[in-house]
Structure 1
Amino acid sequence: MAKYDDLNTRQIFIIGIASVVVTAVTILAVQYVYFLLVDAHQSQLQAESSYKRQNAILNKQLDTVSNYGADPLTGNVTIPISEAMKLVAKESQAESDNHSNDADTKDAT
């Protein structure tokens, strides 16, 4: 038969595989550039950000936990958090001392 009607399947296969590779590389390159631009934008946005509102809230909270006070409605008394931590540490130490003393007296008997 006539050879000019036959398809060159090897050439079609090579061109198809090359097209897939070029498409995949292009997709990965576009994705890389996109994430690079997003990261640069986020870095710039964070550098230019102002945290005045958040800092005001944090300062208000710090003032709340750092002062003595009382709530007239509930009758709750507040103390600074540093004092509360010291009291809890003292109570914990006293409890552990009591437990060790109880263990010593049981061992002695």
Structure 2
Amino acid sequence: MAAVTTPAAPGHTAQAPLPGFEDGPPVIEGFNPSILTRDETFKEKLSRKTKENPFVPIGCLATAGALIFGLRSFQQGKTRQSQLLMRGRIAAQGFTVVAIIIGVFTTALRSK
């Protein structure tokens, strides 16, 4: 079987559609892509996501704080304090993961 190529505009390469996608992208049941009138900036998206699930940024800040102070304590030779802060970091990471999972479930349930 020979491949048929069509001439492309100068500076563009002709690409054949992917197998199975000749008629466009696949239709996924229950998924409706939202059509945005404009793209969100980073600050707008961060603000929206923080309002949707405020516990994730709190957990991220707690994790980063425990890590920074734990490394600082380790550098100063305070091994007991460093160990406690590293354990606190693990707890903060667990809190963040649980917050993400709960946020995903609430978003999935809210969209129905």
The structure having more radius of gyration, on CA atoms, is 1
TM-score of the aligned structures, taking structure 2 as reference length: 0.30
Higher relative contact order (CA 8 A, sep 6+): 2
Larger helix percent = 1
